[in-house]
Structure 1
Amino acid sequence: MFGLSNPQRFMAFTGPLTPVLWTAAVVLLAVGSWLSFTVPADYQQGETVRIMFVHVPAAVWGLGAYGALGVSSFFALVFRHALADAAARAAALPGAAFTALA
């Protein structure tokens, strides 16, 4: 586990996984979007209930990204680890995007 804390080993390990994970993310996003727009309307709230399918997950992911930003910033500050600093930088933009979407 600690072998992946070396940035070169980490990039060599995760490099081949990147296209596979991007493909899985795009497929899952397409399926989730299709399912959220084909759900029948609620009997009381009608079509307006569908905002819940975007708002709640975006808020949860935004909070999760800011939590990851805080934890990785703590590790970068205390332990001076290069990957923790990179993870904090990587979590900032999705956190802001999901917060804006929510």
Structure 2
Amino acid sequence: MTLIDLANPTRFLALAARVLPWLAAATVILLAIGLYQSAYAPDDYQQGATVKIMFIHVPNAWLSMFVWGVMSIASLGTLVWRHP
């Protein structure tokens, strides 16, 4: 299956239905591991516990930039192929 085949909503929904449970399970497992590691991370010698703010701020900043990029590509695809 090529990437352009996923423009067909039927094919995309069929693929998403197969992949979504696996991705949801991986998300829950990785989130639990990340929360455990961030809760038991040692304090910084200069900033103390405030350095743990980066465990939330930096991933959220990356996620927001990723979402902005995906939305830009999706809007370009909507304009070019007139796909709702």
TM-score with structure 2 setting the length? 0.88
Within 5 A, what are the aligned runs for 1:5-44?
5-44=7-46
Task: Note if 1:79 corresponds to 2:84.
Answer: no
Cross-structure match for 2:68: 66
Structure 2: segments with no counterpart, 5+ residues = none
Structure 1 residue 67: deviation in Å? 1.2
Structure 1: segments with no counterpart, 5+ residues = 83-102
SS of the aligned residue for 2:78 comes to helix
Identity level (%): 44
> What is the CA RMSD across the aligned residues, in angstroms?
1.1
TM-score with structure 1 setting the length? 0.74
Structure 1 runs (4+) deviating above 4 angstroms are none
Q: How many aligned residue pairs are there?
A: 82
Query: Which is greater in Rg?
Result: 2
SS of the aligned residue for 1:43 comes to coil
Structure 1 residue 45: deviation in Å? 0.6
Cross-structure match for 2:48: 46
